[in-house]
Amino acid sequence: MQDFLKFNKMITPTIITVIFYVGSALSIIAGFISIATGASADFGGGAQVFAGLLTLLFGPFVIRIYCELLIVMFKMHENLQVITKNVCSEQKSSSSADLL
């Protein structure tokens, strides 16, 4: 709880994971709607069917890449905290060894 209140623990990576699943589901639904709308069109629906297929196939991948780029920032933050903790503990141990 202490880490959460001091903003040392981030909750955003969990939220980004939820955004990925919701975005992928919406992308797939939008692809199916586009395919159905294009297939039921009287004239010129082929392009819309093709766009729906592209959305169905590439939409989740694009959302995944976007979410991964966001997560990279938080992973860097976590690793920097580990490095800081290690450096601080080494400094404390070396300063106590100097006293002896």
What φ, ψ does residue 83 adopt, rounded to 5°?
-65, -45
Q: Which two three-digit tokens encode residue 13?
A: 């990576």
pLDDT per position as a tens digit, 22-64: 999 999 999 999 999 999 988 878 999 999 999 999 999 999 9
Determine contact, residues 10/74, Cβ cutoff 8 Å: yes
Scan for tokens 């159905």, then name that residue. 36
pLDDT per position as a tens digit, 4-22: 787 777 788 889 999 999 9
pTM of the model: 0.72
Q: Which two three-digit tokens encode residue 42?
A: 């009287």
Q: Which two three-digit tokens encode residue 79?
A: 């690793």
Cα atoms found within 13 Å of the Cα of residue 27, Cβ hemisphere only: 18
